[in-house]
Amino acid sequence: MSWSVHLPALMLAVPLFGAFSTPIVALGGRRARTIWSVLISSVLLVLSFCLLQYVATEGTAVYVMGGKAWNLTLPSGMAYPVRIILEVDSFNSFIAVIGCFASLAGVLFGLRFLDRFSGKIWYSALYFLLTAGMLGLILTGDLFNFFVFLEIASVSSFGLIAYWRDRPESIEASFKYMLVSQIAAMMVLLAIGFLYGRYNLLNMAAVGKVIQFGLAEKVALVFMITALAMKCGAFPMHMWMPDAYAEAPASVTVLLVVVSQASLVGLCRIVFSVFGSAIVGDVVPWALITLGMMSMFFGVSMAVVQHEVKRLMGYHSVSQVGYMLMAFGVGLLAMGDPRQMADFGMTSMKGGIFHMVNYVTYKGLLFLVAGALYYVTGTRDLDKMGGLAKRMPFTTFMFVIAAAAISGIPPFNGFVSKLLIYESSFAVHPALSVVALVTSILTLASFVKVFQTAFLGPEKKEFSKVKEVPASMVLGMAVLTVVILGLSLFPTWVVSHLVEPAATALVDKGAYIGAVLGGGI
Amino acid sequence: MMANLPFVVVGLLFLMGLIAIIAENNLFKIAIGVGVMESAANMFLVVLGYRLKGDIPVKFLPGPVDVYVLPTPQALTLTAIVIALATSALMLSLIVMLYRHYGTLDVREIRRLRG
């Protein structure tokens, strides 16, 4: 048995080890802590690539925690799933790779960004704990484990959002996020209870195998969708998002973006892999589409009027999440009908998954750029900035790439995924793609505003001594820039080799169940 | 009907917690609301776990019974209680810090983040 069988568990073990070993290593001084945290996150990135490779060649990986088989055979001969499993298919592993990229970028950026503050040891510990929670959310194949990782990710992000604890705003943002995510977590727990009470099962694949669409399941689905839409910042409960994203240190915000996407991965797992074709009727897909449309429109219209750079980007996150919700809703709408699925359903799923990945990369980069602006100017108010392009050539270059990608300007990756979403949503109703297009235009408008006010214009005399940010911060931003350029330059290869298998794996409920249960239960 | 009574209590408790979070203005009362919600969820799991006339799933202890109670929900509840403990502690410490910064416990006055 080769070591690569243990890759899914290592993906969780390495960041957890990092979280608890960093405070000890940090006793050796700043250099030791720097080397150690970069080492841990680089190892994690390499492991995630190995996992992607393993899944691509060997098929879906199922890892059973603390046992050989996922089930327990009772004396009566009945096999019963008792173990906690991690299940990794092409969808999970792809998102995990991007999450690890974002985590590495955040670590590199945070090395110098937080230099002026104390409490860096606990910061690194919480940072790796948040990484572990995020990866757990993405990789798990067990309902209750999903809840546990959700809480691990939430608790560590409460601490990180309140990192600048002398600022009243950070504490307030952290408290707001805490309320929202506690309500969401309790709803998830209730939903898990409903499913457990019905089937006595917690294994996602096993539940998916036997699920009917009765009243208890409907209640569970409603709770799950509400809770996870709250966690990923969809429209009616989006208030925490701009606050938390703006008040957290920029290196943390990158990871918060990934965590919100991890909740969305969980939502997809529940909707497609557990329920899937069991969902009867058009109510659930249309609910997702409506949530998506409202998030898109209201998010972007709030963003246009903002004057604070990180709040502006936070509102854009709301509107970007809307794109994915709409894409998955359209995919779910086409689910029952093979012809519709071939017509526009698969395109929509591909667009949703690709947009998710793109969103993590360019939004992460944008938040890092905002952090860099804050680092050199000491303010986040756009009206006080100006003429920074000459002073910070690298940052400006990377900002332009990220802004072009988020606005969907060809040839960047945002364009490819948005085009897939436009195409497929047009087949359902033209109004959907009209809203998406208008959102895209307003996004472009607001980023032109940021570019013009912060980077262009006459130099202000209070910034005459401003220099480019330190090398490690540039390196952190460069990691994400390279990913964006890679995704942009080879869109055909990426779509056919990474996105399409991911979409197929997500839609194919039978394969997901079969990978765990094999023949029968 | 009597068998469903615990579920009614769970529903009421959950709603009470939710209403407290939405309607109350005092930070501590909001924290209590979150706590009530957590208890409701835990109670739901405990109630779900019990099967009428069931006994512990140890083969030698209970004697001849047909129905065993699986201990999974109890394990879930213990985990959920530990998590709830951590979040309540963190929440209370955040309330203390909010009070230090703003000098009030009224949520209507703690709103520097808006727009």
Contact with chain B for residue A172, Cβ under 8 A: yes
- Of the CA atoms within 13 Å of residue A492, those in its CB half-sphere come to 0
DSSP A187-253: HHHHHHHHHHHHHS--BHHHHHHH----HHHHHHHHHHHHHHHHHTT-GGG-THHHHHHHHS-HHHH
A10 backbone dihedrals φ, ψ, rounded to 5°: -65, -35
Q: How far is A309 from chain B (nearest CA, A)?
A: 13
For the entire predicted model, the pTM comes to 0.93
Contact with chain B for residue A222, Cβ under 8 A: no
Which burial class, exposed, middle or buried, applies to A342 when counting CB atoms under 10 A from its CB (0-12, 13-18, 19+)? exposed
Contact with chain B for residue A154, Cβ under 8 A: yes
Q: How far is A338 from chain B (nearest CA, A)?
A: 39
Q: Do B87 and A186 touch (CB under 8 A)?
A: no
- Angle separating helix axes A393-406 and A471-489, nearest 10 degrees: 30
Q: Indicate which of B12, B42, B67, B76 best probes the interface with A, i.e. most A CBs within 10 Å of its own CB.
A: B76
First and final C-alpha spacing in chain B: 49
Q: Indicate which of A80, A175, A192, A302 best probes the interface with B, i.e. most B CBs within 10 Å of its own CB.
A: A175
Tens-level pLDDT at each residue, chain A (521 residues)? 588 888 889 999 999 999 999 999 988 888 898 999 999 999 999 999 999 999 988 888 888 887 777 777 666 666 677 788 898 999 999 999 999 999 999 999 988 888 777 778 889 999 999 999 999 999 998 899 999 999 999 999 999 999 988 888 899 999 999 999 999 999 999 999 999 888 888 888 888 888 888 888 999 999 999 999 999 888 888 888 999 999 899 999 999 999 999 999 999 999 998 888 888 888 899 999 999 999 999 999 988 888 888 999 999 999 999 999 999 999 998 887 888 888 888 999 999 999 999 999 999 999 999 999 888 888 888 888 888 888 888 999 999 999 999 988 888 888 999 999 998 988 888 999 999 999 999 999 999 988 888 888 787 777 777 888 888 899 999 999 999 999 999 888 998 999 999 998 888 888 888 888 765 44
